[in-house]
A and B are shown apart, each in its own frame.
Chain A
Amino acid sequence: GAGVSQSPSNKVTEKGKDVELRCDPISGHTALYWYRQSLGQGLEFLIYFQGNSAPDKSGLPSDRFSAERTGGSVSTLTIQRTQQEDSAVYLCASSSGVWGPGQPQHFGDGTRLSIL
């Protein structure tokens, strides 16, 4: 597609349930990023993929969070046993993957996750 696509756009679920968020990056973009945007916290970097590989998972908030990318394209962010503090907008971005400073990141419109 023309831009980064995220689904669902909104997700409401009960505490303790698992959720899966999907990101479809711009075609040909090898780099993919997940961020979380919470009220008062700004955007927080979660994880980066170059191709299917995530070299550093230390940005994920807890071991309830996991992410994968297959085929160098679609990525999923999974949150297990959701807690109320997981409520936020989860944003995905992609870039060309060319090494060097200043590569622009193109963001999707995010998934607004609400945990009841």
Chain B
Amino acid sequence: TQLLEQSPQFLSIQEGENLTVYCNSSSVFSSLQWYRQEPGEGPVLLVTVVTGGEVKKLKRLTFQFGDARKDSSLHITAAQPGDTGLYLCAGEAGGGADGLTFGKGTHLIIQP
């Protein structure tokens, strides 16, 4: 069974600060996806990383896939209250038939 350890589980910071969320596993994934989920809604895909060492930027969000494709990070620069939400990392083992393995999520609160 593949596991994804996501940390921190909870994070509350002030507007303007930087933060990093980590996602680690002992297993290799073919891709790593990051989702954001609002209360009462389904997860919405933010980004997918496929290649080891890959870095993707989405405005103030930077996503990195580890060289060995076992870990990933999400870095937010100058956090805004609109960034508040549940962030989920999800690993894909193969081509889709196994579904996604999700971390337990990071509840992020950005205080104005």
Contacts and interface: CB of A to CB of B under 8 A. Distances in A.
Given A42-B104, A42-B105, A101-B31, A93 B98 contact: no
Interface of A: 4, 31, 33, 35, 40-48, 50, 55-56, 59, 91, 93, 95, 97, 99-110
A102 B96 CA distance: 9
A42 B102 contact: yes
Nearest to A9: B40
Interface in B71-112: 88, 90, 92, 94-105
Which of B33, B42, B44 has the most C-beta atoms of chain A within 10 angstroms of its own C-beta?
B42
B105 A93 contact: no
A19 to B, nearest CB: 19
Given A35-B99, A109-B41, 20 more contacts: A33-B99, A33-B100, A35-B102, A41-B104, A42-B105, A45-B102, A46-B99, A50-B97, A55-B97, A91-B43, A95-B96, A97-B96, A101-B30, A102-B30, A102-B48, A102-B92, A104-B33, A105-B45, A107-B42, A109-B40
